[in-house]
Every structure is written in C-alpha cells, then in structure tokens.
A and B are shown apart, each in its own frame.
Chain A
C-alpha cells in the first residue's frame, strides 16, 4: 500500500540552528499539506501546495519557516533559526486533487525537539 514518507523521524537541535524536514507524498497526489501538532492538540495547517504552487501559507511564520515543492512531487519544510517554541510534531499529508471529500493521507511525522 502506498504511503507518505517523511524523514527524519526524530530531530534534536539547539536553539538558533537550522532544521529541515522532507516529505514524499503518495504518487499522483497533487495536494500536499504540512502541519504542526503540539502535544495534546489537533494538527495546525502551516502550508498547502497544489502541485508546485502554494495554495495557502497564511499560518506559516514566514520570518523563520519556508517550504518548497519545486517539481510538484516531494517537499521540504525548513526552520531557520529554530526556537524553543518550535518543539512539536511536524506532519505531512497528501490527497487527490480537487475534492474535499477525499481524505488526507498522513506520513509518520517528524518529532522536533529544540534545546
């Protein structure tokens, strides 16, 4: 069964360092989402791509976060510099294009700890 791949699974970094997360969606899924999930809370959308275009990045802290999906397939989310408050689970999800009724498929996530 096709899955969303994410790496790394765990990342520990010091405050002010740069970190990057990678996501490879299910083949054929044009829509890709990056979420941040703080322990005990629901996912918070950071950025949504349709192919290589950003659909919504209104909740992305653009002073330190960036996201790209250059060829419309895999995607990278970067934080520079990392802050203590960035400690969270970062989830990537993908879905078929164009239909709200289509579920989102999630990767295993990257657990980030900033020290």
Chain B
C-alpha cells in the first residue's frame, strides 16, 4: 500500500532562515507528487507538483521541491522564511491506477519565529 510520511509535525524556523519540510513516499510505480499549503480555517492551495521531466520543481511564494527517486523523497524548501509562510503544509502522492485519488501525509505545521 502507498504511504506518505512527513517528518516532523511541527517545524520552527526564524524569519529569514532556510525552510526545509520533509516528505518521503512509498510507491511501486512512478508517482505524481504534490505539496499543498493550508492557512487557518481555509482550504488547501497547491504550492507545486511533480509529474514528469525536471526533478526540481518551482512553485508559488518562492517554494521549490526536488524529486529524488533513489531516496523516494520530495522535500520542500524555501531559501528565506517570511512570517506569512506560517501555515500547515501537506505532501500528497497520486497514481494513475488509484482512481486519481491522492494519498496524504499528516501535515507539518511551519512556525516562523520573528
């Protein structure tokens, strides 16, 4: 069965510091990978996605993620954290043979310290 693991339910960084949110997946076939962001009491918004091609994917708000097949990872990074980045971040995996459903990680809450 597929699964998605996000390491760290909470990550705290200082404003201006590097943001690194970790996501590992298990899948026997090449997956499609997504990162979503959720602000308090709101729905989820797509940050970026990997389907095929270039393994370094750039998204909105300065975020990017790199697909590493050998490590089954899709970690999310941002060079310099901003207070407005405080939110919950979800990694998800999709496959063609799974009714187009996404398997979701448990989420990582990003806390920005002033």
Residues of A within 8 A of B (CB): 4, 6, 31, 33, 40-45, 48, 55-56, 89, 91, 93, 95, 98-109, 111
Residues of B within 8 A of A (CB): 9, 32, 34, 36, 41-46, 49, 51-52, 90, 92, 94-96, 98-102, 104-107, 109
Q: CA–CA, A93 to B46, complex, Å?
A: 12
Q: Are B42 and A55 in contact (CB under 8 A)?
A: no
Residue of B nearest to A95 (CB): B100
- Give the 8 A-B CB pairs with smallest separation, nearest first: A106-B43, A42-B104, A100-B94, A101-B51, A106-B44, A101-B32, A103-B46, A100-B100
Distance of A111 Cα from B41 Cα, bound (Å):
8
Query: What is the bound-complex CA distance between A66 and B36, given in angstroms?
Result: 27
Q: Which of A4, A99, A101 sits near B43, CB closer than 8 Å?
A: A4
- For residue B111, give the distance in angstroms from its CB to the closest CB of chain A: 14
For B48, give the chain A residue with the smallest CB separation: A103
Shortest distance from the beta carbon of B50 to any chain A beta carbon, whole Å: 9
Instruction: List, in ascending order, chain B residues with CB within 8 A of A104's CB.
Output: 44, 46, 102
Contact sample, A vs B, 11 pairs, CB 8 Å cutoff: A6-B43, A40-B109, A43-B44, A48-B101, A56-B101, A89-B41, A100-B95, A100-B96, A100-B98, A104-B44, A109-B42
Closest partner residue, chain A, to B41 (CB atom): A111
Shortest distance between the CB of A41 and any CB in chain B (Å) = 6
A31 to B95, CA, bound (A): 15
